[in-house]
């Protein structure tokens, strides 16, 4: 009988070419499949909830795979997986039994991303590859107003990478929150799905707004233009985290 399993995964994306297997370079998917084959003694293909680009991290990525093996000892399985994956900065947080219809990507109802900014003059030591260090003081209240504009928007053509293969630029963001505590600024977005580089592009534009390079009127004009050429440079991948996938 075929079993269907879900993996919940945490990883530091700094040294990977992204989630998906590429012709060159190490991918998160590839490293996990390699260890699954080692432990289960058969070739396993996993399906992720979505692709994360090079350098992007995950607090809780979701993936699914099917096998004719019954994984009886969940604790032993997780320990074995994490023993081999720990050197790669990948952790398997949980293993869940799912019905035959479950698919990590197609069953997902919402995806949540977090972007982390450290707004201070001093450079980063501990968070160098895990946040964006912006030295100029940002106007967070103005950025919050910009986030509300993004939440009301539907056509995200301005924030769509030229290589994006999504059928439509229309998306619905049901959560756009900015929180600040001391030097740390967290930007949270939630939607059913996102365009390629959408979150990083939106953060890049919010940064321009917060720095005073754009007024709120300028920001809205860029959003409404639906032209990629008007977008600010995307925020670096190092500050982006796939935080949760909802089913």
Q: In whole angstroms, give the CA distance from residue 22 to residue 58.
A: 18
Q: What distance, in Å, lies between the first and last C-alpha atoms of the chain?
A: 24
From 53, 174, 218, 224, the catalytic residue: 53
Question: How many CA atoms within 13 Å lie on the side-chain side of 145?
Answer: 12
pLDDT for the residue numbered 186: 98
pLDDT digits (tens, 9 = 90+) for 227-236: 999 999 999 9
Burial of residue 140 (CB within 10 Å: 0-12, 13-18, 19+) is middle
- All domains in the chain, ordered by first residue: 3-98 (3.30.70.580), 110-246 (3.30.70.660)
**Pairing relation of β-strands 110-119 and 240-246?**
antiparallel
Q: In whole angstroms, give the CA distance from residue 172 to residue 188.
A: 14
Beta strands in 148-191 (DSSP E): 173-181, 184-191
Q: In whole angstroms, give the CA distance from residue 64 to residue 20.
A: 14
Q: In whole angstroms, give the CA distance from residue 169 to residue 160.
A: 7
Query: Block means of pLDDT (10 residues each) for the chain, length 247 residues?
Result: 96 96 94 97 96 95 96 96 97 97 97 98 95 98 98 95 92 96 97 96 98 97 97 97 98
**What are the angstrom distances between the C-alpha of 38 and each of 8, 24, 54, 137, 157?**
19, 21, 25, 49, 43
pLDDT for the residue numbered 199: 98
pTM of the predicted protein model: 0.94
Is 53 catalytic? The answer is: yes
pLDDT for the residue numbered 233: 97
């Amino acid at each position: 009988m075929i079993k269907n399993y879900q993996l919940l995964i945490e990883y530091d994306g700094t040294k990977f070419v992204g989630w998906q297997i590429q012709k060159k370079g190490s991918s998160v998917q590839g490293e996990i499949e390699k260890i699954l084959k080692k432990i289960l003694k058969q070739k396993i293909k996993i399906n992720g909830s979505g692709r994360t680009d090079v350098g992007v991290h995950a607090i809780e990525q979701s993936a699914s795979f099917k096998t004719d093996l019954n994984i009886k000892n969940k604790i032993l399985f997780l320990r074995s997986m994490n023993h081999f994956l720990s050197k790669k900065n990948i952790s398997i947080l949980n293993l869940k039994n799912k019905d035959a219809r479950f698919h990590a990507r197609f069953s997902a109802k919402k995806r949540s991303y977090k972007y982390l900014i450290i707004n201070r003059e001093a450079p980063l030591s501990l968070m160098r590859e895990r946040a964006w260090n912006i030295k100029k003081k940002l106007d967070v209240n103005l950025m919050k107003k910009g986030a509300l504009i993004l939440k009301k928007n539907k056509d995200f053509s301005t924030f769509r990478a030229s290589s994006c293969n999504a059928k439509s630029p229309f998306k619905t963001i049901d959560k756009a929150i900015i929180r600040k505590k001391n030097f740390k600024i967290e930007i949270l977005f939630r939607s059913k799905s996102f365009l390629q580089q959408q979150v990083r592009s939106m953060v890049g534009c919010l940064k321009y707004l917060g720095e005073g390079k754009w007024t709120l009127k300028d920001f809205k004009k860029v959003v409404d233009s639906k032209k990629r050429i008007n977008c600010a440079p995307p925020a670096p991948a190092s500050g982006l985290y796939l935080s949760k996938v909802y089913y």
